[in-house]
Structure 1
């Protein structure tokens, strides 16, 4: 229990106290943004993204060269691989990231 201090009103109003009556308490501050965008430069995520972009680039080249059948096969594969890769990389990022 704290000890109560009594002050005369005139002394309180005209004489500022040199010491604080309350001790400062440490405040635990937490950040709402726990990660830096630099953390996205993980080599594993960059490698996975590079492979996916490379396959998409090859598909575009094949369609420009007129090899439509092979480009369609790449498209069917990419329709499955892109969402799986995205969610896998997202899971990997949050599983290995130190909060």
Structure 2
């Protein structure tokens, strides 16, 4: 059964009876993306990336100079260290976030 409400003619004309006061209910929201892309600008992540980039540039520079023995040793070590560094940086990023 609906509740009948009586209003005055003045309220009817200025339509103040239509203004319903609603309380906002607090609700929780969840995001599928739990981090901001700007979080990758962490100094530790940038340092690791800079070190890896520096090793690659040194390796290419030595290759152009013709010092292939040193380049071969660097590349054999970096075959192991590059994936380790990559996964270590990802784990560090997820743990510290």
Q: TM-score range by the shorter chain?
A: 0.7 to 0.9
Residue equivalent to 1:14: none
2:13 corresponds to: none
Partner residue, 2:96: 96
Q: Which residue of 2 aligns with 1:72?
A: 72
- Pairs within 5 Å for 1:23-62: 25-62=25-62
Show CA shifts across 1:22-71 (max 9, x none): 86533322222221111101111111111111111111011111111110
Higher relative contact order (CA 8 A, sep 6+): 1
- 1 or 2, which has the higher helix percentage? 2
TM-fit CA distance, 1:18: 3.4
TM-score by length of 2: 0.74
User: Which runs of at least 4 in structure 1 moved beyond 2 Å after TM superposition?
Assistant: 4-7, 17-20, 22-27
Segments of 5+ residues of structure 1 without an aligned counterpart are 8-16
Which residues of structure 2 form unaligned runs of 5+?
5-16
How many residue pairs match? The answer is 87
